[in-house]
Amino acid sequence: MRTPRLLLLPLAAAIALAACAQQDNAPAGTTESAAAAPAVEAPVGPDAAATPVTGVSGTYILDPKHTDVIAQWSHFGFSNPIAHFGEVDGRIVYDADNVANSSVEVTLPLSGLNSHVGDFDDHLRSADFFDAARFPNATFRSTAVESAGTNRLRVTGDLTIKDITRPVVLDVTINKFGEQPMAKRPAAGFDAVAQIKRSDFGVGAYAPNVSDEVELRITTEAVVAEDAAPAATQAE
């Protein structure tokens, strides 16, 4: 689309006037036009990487009805199936003033595994993969929690599957703190993502045709424990 000449004329005049003004104000001996000088961006302060994380301190119990752990992988490159891990049990201790004091403990019963295909669920629970008869639960326990920016956390912890424990890092987004209208209690909501290799946990059958790399996506809603009221303070 062409710009009308009537619009270009005042624009060109404005640029010419600005250039003349800069040349008139330039110190003696200056050889370069100020208009040609590169723009200088405002420096980013050290606090930018340490933006406080908001929230309400307290002990929160995971709501299994509104918590889902989703695993996704590649199947020969043709599709990217998923499996859900429901019936999650756990708690989050959250310290808004010092997130390093926060912690997460989660148990994932394999009885809650659901790919929406019954035969496949049975195969996943078999000795080829999770061997759920011998190892009925997977667990996650945090070892470090740190701020990763506004309403972002980085949670490092130990994931245990089939009695094999490996470190895993969760990139967490804080969705919301507030009163849960149905429970009538303070609540917190989080999403998280992580990448793991299933072969690290003894469930690497059929790799690499079925990808060894698995993406975990987590969404959770947690309400404050009935026997533990949250602190009244909130991070600024």
Residues 167 and 72 grouped into a single domain: yes
Residues 56, 231: Cα–Cα separation, whole Å: 7
**Residues 31 and 86 both lie in one domain:** no
Largest CA distance in the chain: 86
Instruction: Give the domain CATH number at 164.
Output: 2.40.128.110
Same structural domain, 92 and 170 = yes
Bridge partners of residue 154, in order along the sequence: 146, 171
Residue 226, pLDDT score: 76
Q: What pLDDT, in 10s, does the model give residues 177-200?
A: 999 999 899 999 999 999 999 999
Q: Are residues 97 and 23 in the same domain?
A: no
Domain count, the chain: 2
Show the domain range for 185: 54-224
Contacts of 116 (CB under 8 A, 6+ apart): none
pLDDT (tens digit per residue) in 42-61:
333 334 344 556 789 999 99
The answer to the question of residue 41 being in a domain is no
Residues 25 and 103 in one domain: no
Residues 116 and 217 in one domain: yes
pLDDT band at 21 (very low <50, low <70, confident <90, very high): very low
| Confidence check: pLDDT of 5 > 50 | no
